[in-house]
């Protein structure tokens, strides 16, 4: 889904890049996607695109469990990479990828945590950093999706959805998350029978900021991601739906998003434009592979907390010098 979205984005909105190849083992899908990218070819393997010298940068938008086998040849080719989240599904494979990148001695991988490019998240981070409202004490996060598909299971609540909070919370707070708990409550009867939905995730940062995340992925009405930040001297809120208000028939209505594709459209545009501009200089401009590793580690702890019902403390490997300037 994101691959096709990025093909259209690069073709229609982004300057400094053009889509030259779309790779999918299912050639029918690749062929459909290149219809939106004049001059691009459809291929079944990334190796084909690399060997034919067709690409000088790559966006990886396969499901997370297929990232590693695509990341390795792209890294070996030494080209800039935008890898959709998660970097890989677990910390061990993320460490392997980071180790490979360190051997090359430069950061080629940017991870697609697009919330870091959302204007309101950026404003909130700046408010927290400035200390204008005092110290940050707590965050209340709501992450709501309309429905989930057949392949989506309980661990994915953490590894596919809360993965975003696992990245954005330490980024906002400016410090790591050190412990995680997960509680399952009354389930939504409209959710698929195998899913315990919604769940409440509680994160603790190094200085003790408490963060509750309502992950609620069969909420039916639409797509909503909001954050309320509690400070010593005030409250801040981001993510409220804006846009045309309509007063009609004794009701007031504002259209809600139904997908992350529209909710975060501007963030994706900014993410991809900045990545393209940086890639042309041989750099990245966003979350690194190490940020990907840290989010994977936190997700792993989250799944353990979800399975055991216990509070799980999180340990990270020491940050290698290549990633020392990383944001948290
Ligand atoms: C999806 O993969 C995303 O990344 C969305 O941002 C998230 O809201 C959704 O829950 C995930 O399944």
Q: What is the pTM of this model?
A: 0.96
Q: Which of 161, 213, 225 has the most ligand 1 atoms within 8 A of CB, as the residue to mutate?
A: 161
Whole-number Å distance between alpha carbons of 88 and 92: 9
Which atom belonging to ligand 1 lies closest to the Cα atom of 84? 4
CA 78 to ligand 1 center in whole angstroms: 29
Q: Ligand 1 within 6 A of 260 CB?
A: yes
Write the burial class of residue 318 (CB in 10 Å: 0-12 exposed, 13-18 middle, 19+ buried). Answer: exposed
Whole-number Å distance between alpha carbons of 113 and 117: 8
CA 272 to ligand 1 center in whole angstroms: 18
pLDDT digits over 182-220, tens only?
Answer: 999 999 999 999 999 999 999 999 999 999 999 999 999
Residue 326 confidence (pLDDT): 65
DSSP letter assigned to residue 108 = -
Q: Which of 145, 150, 259 has the most ligand 1 atoms within 8 A of CB, as the residue to mutate?
A: 145
Strand-pair category, 177-184 with 58-60: unpaired
- Counted residue by residue, the chain has a size of 328
Residue nearest to atom 6 of ligand 1 (CA): 260
Residues of the chain with pLDDT under 50: 327
Q: Which of 164, 215, 219, 265 has the most ligand 1 atoms within 8 A of CB, as the residue to mutate?
A: 164
């Amino acid at each position: 889904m994101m691959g096709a979205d990025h093909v259209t984005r690069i073709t229609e909105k982004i300057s400094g890049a053009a889509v030259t190849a779309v790779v999918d083992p299912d050639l029918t899908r690749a062929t459909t996607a290149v219809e939106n990218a004049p001059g691009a070819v459809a291929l079944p393997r990334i190796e084909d695109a690399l060997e034919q010298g067709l690409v000088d940068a790559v966006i990886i938008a396969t499901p997370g469990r297929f990232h590693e086998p695509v990341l390795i040849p792209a890294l070996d080719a030494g080209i800039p990479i935008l890898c959709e989240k998660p970097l890989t599904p677990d910390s061990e494979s993320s460490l392997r990828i980071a180790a490979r990148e360190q051997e090359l001695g430069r950061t080629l991988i940017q991870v697609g945590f697009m919330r870091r490019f959302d204007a309101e998240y950026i404003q909130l981070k700046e408010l927290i950093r400035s200390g204008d409202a005092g110290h940050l004490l707590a965050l209340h996060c709501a992450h709501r999706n309309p429905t989930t598909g057949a392949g989506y299971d309980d661990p994915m609540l953490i590894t596919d959805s809360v993965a975003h909070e696992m990245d954005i919370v330490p980024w906002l707070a400016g410090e790591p998350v050190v412990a995680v708990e997960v509680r399952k409550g009354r389930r939504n009867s409209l959710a698929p029978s195998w899913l315990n939905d919604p769940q409440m995730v509680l994160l603790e940062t190094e200085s003790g900021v408490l963060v509750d995340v309502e992950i609620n992925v069969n909420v039916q009405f639409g797509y909503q991601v909001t954050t309320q930040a509690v400070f010593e001297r005030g409250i801040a809120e981001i993510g409220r739906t804006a846009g045309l208000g309509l007063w009609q028939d004794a009701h007031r209505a504002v259209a809600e998003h139904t997908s992350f594709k529209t909710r975060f459209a501007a963030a994706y545009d900014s993410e991809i434009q900045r990545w393209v501009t940086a890639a042309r200089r041989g750099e990245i401009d966003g979350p690194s592979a190490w940020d990907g590793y840290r989010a994977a580690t936190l997700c792993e702890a989250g799944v353990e907390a979800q399975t055991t019902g216990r509070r799980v403390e999180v340990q990270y490997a020491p940050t290698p010098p290549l990633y020392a300037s990383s944001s948290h």
